[in-house]
Structure 1
């Protein structure tokens, strides 16, 4: 069936299914990103004013608290964080 041939009710139902699937995929991405993080891990992310380096201090269900340079705390989506490798 073509979208152009669908009624408003059919389109609303399709929209609901699409939104549910998007939510499921975003939740999977968040869970995967969180599973890669640990408290004390060094991370980086793109802040409003450029790259931020910091340390993970707390991991919540949908966000991560990062202690950045200058002792500033950031609440960040886990998908935006990139772990830093220790170079020795």
Structure 2
């Protein structure tokens, strides 16, 4: 079936299916990234102002708290970063 031939209801159903699948894949990537992290681990990631070097202080289900190495700033980042 061509997408041009689909009704609005069919397109909405397809959209919901695609969004669910994308969410599942993101969750899998998050879990994989989280499994490699530990509190106290030194990490680097690309911040708004450039590279950030820090230490993992807390691991949440969907985010990681990183304290900048100089102790001046704390970042809440996605595990993939």
User: TM-score if structure 1 supplies the norm length?
Assistant: 0.89
CA-atom RMSD, angstroms?
A: 0.6
User: TM-score if structure 2 supplies the norm length?
Assistant: 0.96
Q: Of the two structures, which has the highest relative contact order with CA contacts closer than 8 Å and spacing of 6 or more?
A: 1
Q: Once superposed, which parts of structure 1, at least 4 consecutive aligned residues long, lie more than 2 Å away? A: none
Stretches of structure 1 that go unaligned for 5 or more consecutive residues are: 81-88
Give the structure 1 partner of residue 37 of structure 2.
37
Which is further off, 69-78 or 34-43?
Answer: 69-78
Stretches of structure 2 that go unaligned for 5 or more consecutive residues are: none
For this pair of structures, how many residues does the alignment match?
Answer: 80
Alignment of 1:58-69 (within 5 A): 58-69=58-69
